[in-house]
Amino acid sequence: MNKIIFNYILINFLKTFFIVVVIFYFFGIILNLFEEIEFFKKFDVNIMFPLMLTSIYIPSLIIKLLPFIIFISSMWFMMKIRNSKDLLTLKIFGYSNIKIFFLLALTSFVLGWMTLFFINPITSSMSKYYEKTKSDYSRDIDHLVTFNKNGLWIKEKLLNSQRIITASKPESFNLIDVTIFNLKNNSELEKKIVAEKANIKNKEWVLYNVYIFKPIDGIMEKKFYESYKISTTYDFDKINTLFRNFDTMSFIDLILNYKNLLNKGYNEIYLNQNLHTMLSLPFFLLLMTGLASIFTMNTLQKSNNFKLITFGIFVCVITFYIKDFSLALGVTDQVPLTLSIWAPVIILSLFTFIGVLQINEK
């Protein structure tokens, strides 16, 4: 009998979870599809192409919303068994509130780790394809930044010319082994600048150990400068946003290639931020299930589901706000970054622990 009850709870909870995931997935497709259609309306593509891109973009968004999804799923499932009197039946067969909570919370915890090890590598590959496809089709590339195995590439539109900048890698506020091509509008070379490094902290870059090659009457003239300044629309903060898009980086890749990513120029702060954010996901899923249990299992009587769901979503939004606020404190060095990521988990754990003890007494 216990095995039957266990399977009943587990299967129905997972079924509810996947239904909510599907609802969020199709809702996300509807919202994002309009943006993709607007982007591709100038291109000769089939209507199915924006739909395909949207369908591979949404899964990475689903993972970001997973704590919210698991909260909705848990509330929906527990309200369903409470209002149908199944919760009372489960208690008669020896399943207390705390036992049901632990079963659902453990399931959410396992779902979190399965997402990191099995789902996240797939969604990261899909995000890579999405980003690459969008960049290939983009015609607005007067200003473009990209980073690949050949290093950093920047294309910038100037008043009467354009500039292409390459560098082997970023290093703190500097770019290393910089080459700059200034081209006229007819793509004719105006001058070439080669520098050992460039300080990009501000939009006025300072280049060091610079050689400038300039064609004069068919002869390439060469000059050396210890330092040389150029004005650009890019600075460290703007370029560094390139390395904050971690949707294309999987949890497994982050763990196995951490040092390689650092050597490629990825910022250590943002690598650590992403790593600890991913590691905290299973714990957040567990705790969001705890919050849902506290709201729905404190009584066996039917209640106004709309009010309960509204209040639960409000508390969930507050939780996410606190999480983002704590992360902002870490990013701005107000508190240690690792602490800023795990502090909401610790606080939520204390609240959930007290709440679960209270529902166990009922």
pLDDT at res. 140? 47
Mind listing the pLDDT tens digit for each residue in 269-306? Answer: 778 888 899 999 999 999 999 988 888 876 656 666 67
Mind listing the pLDDT tens digit for each residue in 203-241? Answer: 899 999 999 998 887 788 889 999 999 988 888 877 766
* Mean pLDDT, the chain, integer: 84
Whether the predicted pLDDT of 25 surpasses 90: yes
Q: Domain coordinates of the chain in residue numbers?
A: 2-138+248-360, 143-242
Q: Distance from first CA to last CA of the chain, Å, rounded?
A: 23
| CA contacts within 13 A on the Cβ side of 263 | 5
How far CA 179 is from CA of 170, 175, 216, 243, in Å, comes to: 13, 10, 20, 21
The residues, any chain, with a CB within 8 Å of residue 200's CB and separated by 6 or more, are: 173, 174, 175, 234, 235, 236, 239
The Cα–Cα gap between 34 and 139 comes to 19
pLDDT at res. 139? 47
pLDDT at res. 174? 87
The Cα–Cα gap between 122 and 116 comes to 10
DSSP code at position 149: T
Mind listing the pLDDT tens digit for each residue in 302-352? Answer: 666 677 777 777 887 888 888 888 888 887 778 888 888 999 999 999 888
| Arithmetic mean of pLDDT, 250-261 | 85
pLDDT at res. 280? 94
Mind listing the pLDDT tens digit for each residue in 108-139? Answer: 999 999 999 999 999 988 988 887 787 667 64
Whether the predicted pLDDT of 76 surpasses 50: yes
pLDDT at res. 243? 54
Mind listing the pLDDT tens digit for each residue in 5-18? Answer: 888 899 999 999 99
Residues linked to residue 281 through DSSP beta bridges, in sequence order: none
